[in-house]
A and B are shown apart, each in its own frame.
Chain A
């Protein structure tokens, strides 16, 4: 991902152009993440409405905690999948975003295109299953505003972290990998932290069910 967005600095010749390109990238990435959150939450909302129409209140009072159990189990399963213990499907739309976008639309169109594509989260290889966990949580909550805020947080932070990375490359005019090589070594650490967070979250959800 991070090597592809090197295009954010390749096509820029001065600081103002770099700032504009990165701003467009952040805006596009955040916008499509928000849209993904709204889409997933709307799906959850409609499913909930359908359940209310189909099932009796008595059955719903049983199904609601059961849904939380399923969500918790899926989250733990994906955390174990991150550790390589159980294989689970990792659906995505694309393997990676095309490298030639920046050549076609550089620099601003490319920044918008990469931001929009990467903000969806499903257009590259997904290394961290926590992404699926937050998508599942949007679906389970079925709250449009919360879903938009949750996925928007993901998209905005994801895009924002590229500001220091691209700044280093822009200033030094070196290869993208040179600028971020130290970050690439932290992937396993990041994965382990996220696995722990997921397990803790699932344990908390199960705890809430037990306590209620």
Chain B
């Protein structure tokens, strides 16, 4: 019997594998995909993460 936190953990791991695998598949089949999204990935994505960490800090005791 898998507990609820354990199942959530494995759900996250599966999602991560899916994301990496999916992204790699996209890259193999469409080499131009990243040329278009490169600035967003390199500059904007980290900014979104930074903002989310800032918000998440509010939930710490």
Spell out A's residues near B (CB within 8 Å): 1-3, 76, 79, 83-85, 124-125, 127-128, 130-131, 133-134, 137, 146, 149-151, 153-162, 165, 180, 183-187, 190-208, 210-212
Taken together as a complex, chains A and B put the C-alpha atoms of A193 and B58 apart, in Å, by 14
Evaluate contact between A131 and B46: CB separation under 8 angstroms: no
A130: shortest Cβ distance to chain B, in Å?
5
Evaluate contact between B20 and A203: CB separation under 8 angstroms: yes
User: Helix, strand, loop or mixed for chain A's interface?
Assistant: helix
B30-61 residues with Cβ-Cβ distance < 8 A to A are: 31-35, 37-38, 41-43, 45-61
Spell out B's residues near A (CB within 8 Å): 8-9, 12-13, 15-16, 19-20, 23-24, 26-28, 31-35, 37-38, 41-43, 45-61
Residues of A within 8 A of B38 (CB): 208
Evaluate contact between B23 and A151: CB separation under 8 angstroms: no
Taken together as a complex, chains A and B put the C-alpha atoms of A146 and B37 apart, in Å, by 18
Evaluate contact between B47 and A161: CB separation under 8 angstroms: no
A137: shortest Cβ distance to chain B, in Å?
5
Contact of B19 among A1, A134, A150, A203 (CB under 8 A): A203
